[in-house]
């Protein structure tokens, strides 16, 4: 791919593969938002580490190469449903050149604390 562009694939909940062209330095949340990817409820807190709806599951060898997770991210990850050993929050992972061709999986369920607090208000 051309300079500064990185291809990333998201495996959505229904198994559909969404492919996007990202810019180096963009977070995975920004990729989803900027490319209008149809991932329901993704990134509810807009990257402020206040939800866990941007939970993504990485392949093991990619996961090991990612930058270290911060305590704040770990705290929020603990609240994510379906946490795996290779889970990260998409808003905290920035695209790098070496990630070209990356595949990440959207977990089946998301937990948005704010939605749980507001449960029962659906009309």
Question: Residues interacting with ligand FES, by CB under 6 A?
Answer: 29, 43-45, 47, 49-54, 76, 89, 91
For residue 24, the minimal CB distance to ligand FES (Å) is: 20
Shortest reach from residue 107's CB to ligand FES, in Å? 13
Q: How far is the CB of 6 from ligand FES (least distance, A)?
A: 19
- Give CA–CA dist 113/80, Å, rounded: 10
Nearer to ligand FES, 6 or 27 (CB): 27
**Closest to ligand FES by CB, 43 or 101:** 43
């Amino acid at each position: 791919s051309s300079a500064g562009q990185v291809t990333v694939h998201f495996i959505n909940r229904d198994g559909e593969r969404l492919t996007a062209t990202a810019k180096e330095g963009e977070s995975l949340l920004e990729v989803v938002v900027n490319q209008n990817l149809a991932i329901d409820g993704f990134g509810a807190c807009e990257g402020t580490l206040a939800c866990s709806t941007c939970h993504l599951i990485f392949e093991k060898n990619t996961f090991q190469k990612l930058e270290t997770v911060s305590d704040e991210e770990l705290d929020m990850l603990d609240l994510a449903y379906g946490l795996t050993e290779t889970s990260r929050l998409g808003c905290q992972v920035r695209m790098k050149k070496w990630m070209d061709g990356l595949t990440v999986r959207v977990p089946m369920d998301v937990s948005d604390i704010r939605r749980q607090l507001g449960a029962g208000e659906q009309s």
